[in-house]
Amino acid sequence: MNDLIIDIVYEDNHIVVVNKPVNVPSQADVSGDVDMLSMVKQYIKEKYEKPGDVYIGLVHRLDRPAGGLMVFARTSKAASRLSEQMRSKKIVKKYLAVVSGICPVGDGVTRLEGYIEKDSTTNKVAVYDIKKGDAKFAALEYECLQCASPLSLVRVSLETGRPHQIRAQMAHAGLPLYGDQKYGDGRVGQQLALWSNQLSFAHPVTQEVLNFVSPPPQETQPWRVFSTLRQTALL
């Protein structure tokens, strides 16, 4: 199907947790490039020798330039229950990001609130400090973990799940993500430094709380400039 090797973190009869590679769409889009949903379907089809079409439910998305943890459902019941957890904000997702700028390490959590409006013609969002037009409320929290001038490593927790939220809100706060050509000063050839690092949810059948952690690729730029990256990522 493709030359990408699928990184399975966990699987059972109901769910599949994977690490999405950077620059792979979560689902099929106008580019026609291989996408994560199709890759998981093909993986299940080949591994279990299933005839015909394979059901895999998309529970949440991850921006194409970002990488890291995603969960997919193997049954419609699992998809429905996980989607309900998403709606009720019971699925916990945390991200690591490298931002351009220096933020204070050890000052605890900073909360960002604003309103986000998407322009579908440009596939870009605008962030406002006050309610404007059809803009929707957006909130996140971030904590500065380490600095390596002129960059900082931050952990981000989403309260809402708006399009491009982390990228847009961090840029609006003066800390654009490294490599972000859409919202920052990223240059051609730089990789957006955003990684889905932690994922926690109740199993859709057993109700056991599952916790997954995935460190970003430490050998690549700009992650490699942070000496405690792996230890930080596993906390």
Write down all domains in the chain, each with its CATH number in brackets.
7-233 (3.30.2350.10)
Q: How confident is the model at residue 234 (pLDDT cuts 50, 70, 90)?
A: low
Q: Pick the catalytic residue: 12, 33, 63, 134?
A: 63
DSSP codes joined into one string, 118-142: EETTTTEEEEESS--TT-EEEEEEE
For residues 229 and 34, the answer to whether their CB atoms sit within 8 Å is no
What pLDDT score does 186 carry?
A: 87
What pLDDT score does 57 carry?
A: 98
Backbone angles phi, psi at 168, to 5 degrees: -75, -45
Instruction: Return the number of other C-beta atoms located less than 10 Å from residue 170's C-beta.
Output: 27
Pick from 210, 209, 213, 211: nearest CA to 234: 213
Mean pLDDT, the chain, as a whole number? 93
Distance CA 85, CA 91 (A): 6
Neighbour-count burial of 183, counting CB atoms closer than 10 A to its CB (0-12 exposed, 13-18 middle, 19+ buried)? buried
Q: What is the pLDDT of residues 77-131, one digit of tens each?
A: 999 999 999 999 999 999 999 999 999 888 899 999 999 999 988 989 999 999 9
For residues 162 and 125, the answer to whether their CB atoms sit within 8 Å is yes
Distance CA 56, CA 51 (A): 14
Residue 2 has pLDDT above 60, yes or no: no
Distance CA 99, CA 147 (A): 10
Q: For the chain, give the percent of residues with pLDDT over 70.
A: 95
Residue 1 has pLDDT above 50, yes or no: no
Known catalytic membership, residue 63: yes
Q: What is the pLDDT of residues 140-180, one digit of tens each?
A: 999 999 999 999 999 999 999 899 999 999 999 999 999 99
What pLDDT score does 230 carry?
A: 64
Pick from 111, 176, 164: nearest CA to 136: 164
Does this model's pTM top 0.95? My answer is no
SS3 of residue 55 by DSSP: coil
